[in-house]
Amino acid sequence: MTVSHESGDAWSWLPFYTEYTIIEASDGTTLNDGKAASYRLWWIGMLVVYVIYYCTIVVTKPKVVCSGKKLKEAIAEHCPIFFECYWPTIWAFNNHLMTVLRARLQHSPKAQYKRHMLRLYDGGQLALDWLKVDRDDITLPVLVILPGLTGSSQDNYVRYLAKDGESQGFRPVVFNQRGNGGVEMLTPRTYNATNTEDLCEVISHVRSSYPDVPIVGLGVSLGAVLLTRYLAETGDKSELAGVMAISSLWDAVASSDGLEQFPSRQLYNWFLSRKMRNMVERNVPRILSKFQTLPYDINEILKGSVISDYDQSCTIKVFGYPNNTEYYEDVSN
């Protein structure tokens, strides 16, 4: 009787499937110890279960929420994809996995900007980064891009939005908030999700630069909240011909609570909070050279570890809210 170990068959690429045993009897017959077959059946079964779960649970149609039937019909006519099944990447359909892999694996597109520093009414400043478009036509409509909480024109997703906007015939410009994207803070004032004064100045500047073309806005997360709030405040007087709000908050209180939970706290909250603290810390020496007092305590800000700590020690004090709850409720209105 001969015993041999073999590997490398068609299933050897599978994890944990390395080798199996062939027993050759004296009469020439062979016996398989069953290890290969069991591994094969186990992985086939898991694959079938995974595909069934993906097709029946993961793949769904988006939920379209509208205030009236006419609006829903208009959306169906102009954006029919909203009423089709969404098929996410089969090996990375989890929202957290998508976010992490998107940040780590996807390359950054080349985007050349021309920066314009915009001085604001209170002496502060922000940066408008205009994408250098191939077709520099004065009639191109302008696309104003508002990144998320700590985003800037250099973030991958913002570059993709800018390049996509150019490919669709727009002249993209990225709104870099005070302190973000290499912008130096000249006053103690930061920014938040409810005050649209800086956005109004940006839109006014864009309108004066291009008086005869449509202006549209595209916001992500915090940027989306600011854009929708701007529309609510300006109504028919809005300078924007259209707006796309991506990942806008519905309930800031619930969103803040969710960011405190695992794994959002570890994946996003600490990272974003650190960026906000660093923004204030690196600008405080310059601000103190011009202002003797600040509306916040820098040491209190640096002690924080999550976004709610930053809002408690900085945001609500700059913008006059008594506590985080009232601020978050105002964001949701």
Give tens-digit pLDDT for 17-35.
444 455 555 555 555 555 5
- The yes-or-no verdict on residue 95 having pLDDT over 90 is no
Q: What does the pLDDT read at residue 3?
A: 44
pTM over 0.85: no
Cα(65)–Cα(146) distance, integer angstroms:
23
| Mean predicted confidence (pLDDT) in 188-199 | 97
pLDDT digits (tens, 9 = 90+) for 236-287: 999 999 999 999 988 999 999 998 999 889 888 999 999 999 999 999 999 9
60 has which bridge partners? 86
Q: What does the pLDDT read at residue 108?
A: 80
Give the CA radius of gyration of the chain: 27
Q: What does the pLDDT read at residue 37?
A: 66
Cα(120)–Cα(164) distance, integer angstroms:
29
Decide: 155 and 147 in contact? Cβ < 8 Å: yes
Q: Is the alpha carbon torsion for 111, 117, 118, 120 positive or negative?
A: positive
Query: Confidence class of residue 199 from pLDDT cuts 50, 70 and 90?
Result: very high
Mean pLDDT is highest, among 56-70, 142-156, 288-302, for: 142-156
- 176: which 2 tokens? 């870099």
172 has which bridge partners? 143
Q: Quote the strand ranges of the chain, DSSP E.
A: 2-6, 20-24, 30-32, 113-119, 125-131, 142-146, 171-176, 215-220, 242-246
Query: Confidence class of residue 313 from pLDDT cuts 50, 70 and 90?
Result: very high
Q: For residue 331, what are the contacts with CB-CB under 8 A and spacing of at least 6? A: 193, 194, 225, 249, 252
Q: What does the pLDDT read at residue 27?
A: 54
| Mean predicted confidence (pLDDT) in 76-99 | 90
Average pLDDT, the chain: 88
Q: What does the pLDDT read at residue 17?
A: 47
pLDDT digits (tens, 9 = 90+) for 33-81: 555 667 788 888 999 999 999 999 999 999 888 888 898 999 899 989 9
Cα(88)–Cα(70) distance, integer angstroms:
29
SS3 content of the chain, % helix, strand, coil (to 5): 45, 15, 40
31 has which bridge partners? 23
Q: Residue by residue, what is the 3-state secondary structure of 67-125?
A: CCHHHHHHHHHHCHHHHCCECCCCCCCCHHHHHHHHHHHCCCCCCCEEEEEEECCCCCE
- The helix (H) or strand (E) run that includes residue 252 is helix 252-259
Query: CB count, 10 Å around CB of 309?
Result: 19
| Mean predicted confidence (pLDDT) in 211-226 | 97
- 220: which 2 tokens? 């992500």
Q: What does the pLDDT read at residue 11?
A: 47
Decide: 319 and 327 in contact? Cβ < 8 Å: yes
DSSP 306: S
**Beta strands 125-131 and 171-176, pairing class:** antiparallel
| Mean predicted confidence (pLDDT) in 126-132 | 97
Cα(232)–Cα(248) distance, integer angstroms:
14
